[in-house]
Amino acid sequence: MTYMDQVIRESQRYYASVNNMYKVCTEECTLKGSDGLKYRVKPGTEIFISVYGLHKDPRYWSDPETFDPDRFSEERKHEINKMTFLPFGEGPRMCVGMRMGLLQMKCCLATLIKGYKLELSPKTKLPFKLLSFVFLTEAEGGIWVYLSKLR
C-alpha cells in the first residue's frame, strides 16, 4: 500500500480538504514573516494559516503545480519540512480523527479500484476552479463522475 499512501498524501497536498486553519495563540511568541520582519504575537491573538497556500508554495515544494506522488516516497520524504504539510494540522490540537480519516480514504479507494470503473463526466468543469473562502475544499460546479461496476 506504499504507493496508495503516496497518492493519498499528494492528493491531500494538491487539494487540501481544509483550505484554511484558524488558531488562537496561547503564549507570547515571535513569528518571522516572509518579508523578513518579525512580529510579536500575544496570547489570544487569532492566527490564520492558508493550508492551500502553504501546500502550493514553491519555497517548500519543487514544482508545486504538478501532481507527483513520488515526492512522498521513502527516498524523497525526508525533503518535506514537517510544518509545510498540514492536511490534519499539527501539534497537540491536530485533527483527532486523522487515523480514522486515512483508514476510510484507503478503504474507499481500494474498494473503488478493485470493483469499479470511474469516468469523469463532461458535466465536470476542467480545470477545477476551487471556491474561495469555504472551510472545506470544493470545486465550483462539483466533480461529477460515472461509476460502473467491473465484471
pLDDT of residue 131: 82
Residue numbers belonging to the annotated binding site for heme: 95
How many C-beta atoms lie closer than 10 Å to residue 148's C-beta?
9
Residue 40: beta bridge partners?
30
Instruction: Give the pLDDT means over successive 10-residue stretches in the chain (151 positions).
Output: 92 90 92 90 93 93 96 94 91 91 94 95 91 80 94 85
- 56-79 pLDDT tens trace: 999 999 999 999 999 999 999 999
In the prediction, which pLDDT does 145 show? 95
Q: Distance (Å, rounded) from C-alpha 49 to C-alpha 150?
A: 42
Q: What is the distance between the alpha carbons of residues 102 and 87, in angstroms, rounded to a whole number?
A: 11
Quote the strand ranges of 25-78, DSSP E: 29-32, 38-41, 46-50
* 145: phi then psi, degrees, rounded to nearest 5: -135, 155
What was the pLDDT predicted at 1? 62
List the grid coordinates of 135.
Answer: 472551510
pLDDT at 19: 85
Bind-site residues: 95
**13/51 Cα distance (integer angstroms):** 9
Q: pLDDT value at position 134? A: 72
Quote the pTM value: 0.85
